[in-house]
Amino acid sequence: YMGRFFRANMEPGACVVVGAQWGDEGKGKFVDMLAEKADVVARCAGGNNAGHTVVVDGKSFDFHLLPSGLIHVGCLCVIGNGLVVHLPGLLAEIEKNEKKGLTGWASRLVISDRAHLVFDLHQEIDGLEEKEKGGSSIGTTKRGIGPTYSAKAARTGFRVCDLYGDWAVFETRFRTFVANYQKRYGAELQIDIAAEISRYKQMAETIRPLVRDTVVLMQRELAAGKRVLVEGANATMLDLDFGTYPYVTSSSCTVGGACTGLGVPARSIRAVYGVVKAYTTRVGGGAFPTEQLNETGEKIQNIGQEYGVTTGRKRRCGWFDAVQMRYSHAINGFDKLCLTKLDVLDTFPEIKVGVAYRVQGQALESFPADMNVLAQVEVEYETFPGWQTNISVRRACRCPPSLRLSPFVPLVTAACAPLQRPARECAQVYPRAGNARWRENALDRRWRLSRRHRCPGIATLIILYYR
């Protein structure tokens, strides 16, 4: 059934997958499922500060810059103009995945000639800027993403197309670029300019067959009625404009990033999938209202194996935040929701959902922009008994009564209530025994038709189990 389900939900046009929280919601696994029915899989923002892990036939593939659809031989994969690309990291990532069995990638990978370049210099600057901030550091991945986007905004950055113009001009600009930073950081910033220029001249020839005008490419694919899957990176609450600023990334991580980072017209977007975890996590600094700095947080972290794919850092863990989810939905307009890692909560005798914020006893009408205010909020929770059943080993058509009767899923979907549309379908997907690929299975029709589990805010609910 699930094959028909995803084929029906991958209409011609663009389908955008967006992280609804602070990242690490399981977008990679979900994109992997949708990519089986997609013609094009494209990334539109970020760099190698993001990470997805996809397991195929017991082999684990880690993707940071590469679109995770690259493991599907029928997919054309696009690195869009909205990304910042560290070429040494990209080539190392390709080589690493080749050793794990990735083949035929050269004929299926396209790099935008408008994408900006991340130099090793940017990565060094990233670390130095974090060091300067001391205790108030953002907690970046130190991959040079912020400094590269800063250079882009200051109009001093370098794009992929610059590698194929007048090389003397490129070399002069690069030397001036480095000199300006050395004036600020002095001896702390060490770089062999000649070696760096020589290295990029070689890498430019290596990637030359992959470089194309992706704006024209995307328009042709859409005009031909192709199914385009836009793979989001990071998440809404890390968006430069709408996230918990300044503890954010440097790109547009919302649905709008598909337009600015790929040149896709808004009218071409047919569906927006929000991927949300059954609890909340984040890495780095910044306010986190529902964070649990106690045994509950540690239990979630251990069961869910909450460690970053890119950095290996422990993720901060807390209860599901419906206030944050309403805010995320208001920005992105989700019409389909993918709820992940629900089974991580199987053993909890009591489960909480944050349903409101208060500051000094006064209820807040919306998610606050001021991080000082967010740090002071008192979260109002709704508490209810856990289902305490291993739901991941059950067939989809035999949803345990304790979960069916729990208010948890209705609370999650009610956060998308402004759309005022009942759920048409509710699917549960989980791994096949002995194989980490996702099993295709039937709908739980009894759950879908249950009055208590009508989903007021979205058209479709999909549940992905962790185990």
pLDDT tens sequence across 204-227: 999 999 999 999 999 999 999 999
Q: So what's the pLDDT on residue 330?
A: 92
Quote the mean pLDDT of the chain.
83
**Per-residue pLDDT at 280 exceeds 50:** yes
The rounded distance, in Å, linking the Cα atoms of 47 and 65 is: 6
The rounded distance, in Å, linking the Cα atoms of 256 and 332 is: 8
The catalytically annotated residue of 52, 64, 116, 329 is 52
Q: So what's the pLDDT on residue 410?
A: 83
Share of the chain above pLDDT 70, in %: 83
Q: So what's the pLDDT on residue 173?
A: 95
SS3 (DSSP) at 79: strand
What mean pLDDT do residues 41-53 have?
83
425 pLDDT band, cuts 50/70/90, is very low
What mean pLDDT do residues 23-38 have?
85
Over residues 376-396, the pLDDT tens digits come to 999 999 999 999 888 776 554
Q: So what's the pLDDT on residue 429?
A: 41
SS (H, E, C) 387-452: CCCCHHHCCHHHCCHHHHCCCHHHHHHHCCHHHCCCCCEEEEECECCCCCCECCCCCCHHHHHCHH
Q: So what's the pLDDT on residue 138?
A: 66
Residue type, 293: L
Do β-strands 280-282 and 316-318 pair in parallel, antiparallel, or remain unpaired? Answer: antiparallel
Please give the model's pTM, rounded to 2 decimal places.
0.86
The catalytically annotated residue of 24, 126, 162, 335 is 24
The rounded distance, in Å, linking the Cα atoms of 282 and 284 is: 7
303 pLDDT band, cuts 50/70/90, is very high
5 pLDDT band, cuts 50/70/90, is low
Q: Is there a catalytic annotation at residue 329? A: no
The rounded distance, in Å, linking the Cα atoms of 123 and 293 is: 31
- Contacting residues for 247 by C-beta, under 8 A, at least 6 apart: 138, 139, 284, 285, 286, 287, 371
**Per-residue pLDDT at 48 exceeds 70:** yes
278 pLDDT band, cuts 50/70/90, is very high
399 pLDDT band, cuts 50/70/90, is low
Over residues 315-354, the pLDDT tens digits come to 999 999 999 999 999 999 998 888 888 889 999 999 999 9
Q: Hey, what's the torsion of the CAs at 437, 442, 443, 444, to 10 degrees?
A: -100
Token code pair at residue 90: 């990209």
The rounded distance, in Å, linking the Cα atoms of 228 and 221 is: 8
Buried b (16+ CB within 10 A) or exposed e, 340-352: bbbbbbbebeebb
The rounded distance, in Å, linking the Cα atoms of 376 and 105 is: 49
Q: Could you count the other beta carbons within 10 Å of the beta carbon of residue 447?
A: 20
Q: So what's the pLDDT on residue 461?
A: 66
Q: Is there a catalytic annotation at residue 116? A: no
The rounded distance, in Å, linking the Cα atoms of 154 and 146 is: 12
449 pLDDT band, cuts 50/70/90, is very low
Q: Hey, what's the torsion of the CAs at 174, 175, 180, 184, to 10 degrees?
A: 110
294 pLDDT band, cuts 50/70/90, is very high
